[in-house]
Structure 1
Amino acid sequence: MRELFKDWLLKDYNVPKSEGVQFITILMLTILIGMLAIGEYLVDLKATTLPLILSLFGANLILLGAAKRFGKSVIVGNLQLFVLYLMFQLTFITLPNVFHVIIYWMPTIPLLAFMFGNLRTSHIWLVIILITLVLDTVYGNSVMGQSYTAEIPYMPYAFAASIFTITFVACFSLLHNLLGRSYSRLRSKNREVVTLIGQLKEMNDSLEKIVKERTKDIELQNKKLKRYAFMNSHLVRAPLANILGAVNHLDSSCDSSERTELLNIVKVSANSLDDVIKEVGKSLSEKDN
Structure 2
Amino acid sequence: MREKLRSWLLKDYNVPKSEGVQFITIGILTFLIACLAAGEILVDLKATSLPLIITLLFVNIVLFISAKRFGKSTIIGHFQLLVLYIMFQVSFFTLPNTFHVFMYWMPSIPLLAFIFGNLRTSRIWLVITLITLGMDTIYGIQVNGKSYTPEIPYIPYAFAATFFTITLVACFSLLYNLLGRSYSRLRAKNREVLELISQLKEMNGSLEDTVKERTKDIEKRNEQLKQYAFMNSHMVRAPLANIIGAASHLEDENDSEKMKELMQMIKISAASLDDVIKEVGKSLEIKS
Which segment is superposed worse, 42-51 or 219-228?
A: 42-51
2:31 paired residue number:
31
Q: Please give the alpha-carbon distance, in whole angstroms, between the structure 1 residues aligned to 2:135 and 2:231.
A: 104
| Deviations 1:145-187, CA, capped at 9 Å, x for gaps | 1111122222221221111011011011111111111122212
2:281 paired residue number:
none
| Deviations 1:74-120, CA, capped at 9 Å, x for gaps | 22111111111011001111111111110110111111111112222
2:217 paired residue number:
217
Structure 1 unmatched runs, 5+? 271-289
Q: Please give the alpha-carbon distance, in whole angstroms, between the structure 2 residues aligned to 1:222 and 1:70.
A: 70
Q: Please give the alpha-carbon distance, in whole angstroms, between the structure 2 residues aligned to 1:180 and 1:53.
A: 33
AA paired with 1:43?
V
Q: Once the 2 structures are TM-superposed, how far is the Cα of residue 39 of structure 1 from its aligned partner? A: 1.6
AA paired with 2:139?
Y
Alignment of 1:191-210 (within 5 A): 191-210=191-210
Secondary structure at the counterpart of residue 162 of structure 2 = helix
TM-score by length of 2: 0.81
Secondary structure at the counterpart of residue 209 of structure 1 = helix
Q: Please give the alpha-carbon distance, in whole angstroms, between the structure 2 residues aligned to 1:180 and 1:257.
A: 106
Alignment of 1:73-152 (within 5 A): 73-152=73-152
1:22 paired residue number:
22
Q: Please give the alpha-carbon distance, in whole angstroms, between the structure 2 residues aligned to 1:257 and 1:7.
A: 107
Alignment of 1:165-184 (within 5 A): 165-184=165-184
2:274 paired residue number:
none
Q: Please give the alpha-carbon distance, in whole angstroms, between the structure 1 residues aligned to 2:116 and 2:240.
A: 96
Structure 2 unmatched runs, 5+? 270-288
Q: Once the 2 structures are TM-superposed, how far is the Cα of residue 208 of structure 1 from its aligned partner? A: 0.9
Q: Once the 2 structures are TM-superposed, how far is the Cα of residue 137 of structure 1 from its aligned partner? A: 0.8
2:280 paired residue number:
none
AA paired with 2:48?
T
Q: Please give the alpha-carbon distance, in whole angstroms, between the structure 2 residues aligned to 1:109 and 1:86.
A: 11
Secondary structure at the counterpart of residue 181 of structure 1 = helix
The Cα RMSD (Å) is 2.7
1:275 paired residue number:
none
Q: 1:39 to 1:234 in 2, by over 3 A?
A: same
AA paired with 1:81?
L
2:222 paired with 1:234: no
Alignment of 1:251-270 (within 5 A): 258=254
Q: Please give the alpha-carbon distance, in whole angstroms, between the structure 2 residues aligned to 1:204 and 1:148.
A: 77
Number of residue pairs aligned between Structure 1 and Structure 2: 259
1:281 paired residue number:
none
Q: Please give the alpha-carbon distance, in whole angstroms, between the structure 1 residues aligned to 2:75 and 2:17.
A: 16
Q: Please give the alpha-carbon distance, in whole angstroms, between the structure 1 residues aligned to 2:178 and 2:195.
A: 26
AA paired with 1:218?
I
Secondary structure at the counterpart of residue 220 of structure 1 = helix
Secondary structure at the counterpart of residue 151 of structure 1 = coil
Q: 1:235 to 1:137 in 2, by over 3 A?
A: same
2:275 paired residue number:
none
AA paired with 1:122?
S
1:188 paired residue number:
188
AA paired with 1:71?
G
Q: Once the 2 structures are TM-superposed, how far is the Cα of residue 30 of structure 1 from its aligned partner? A: 1.0
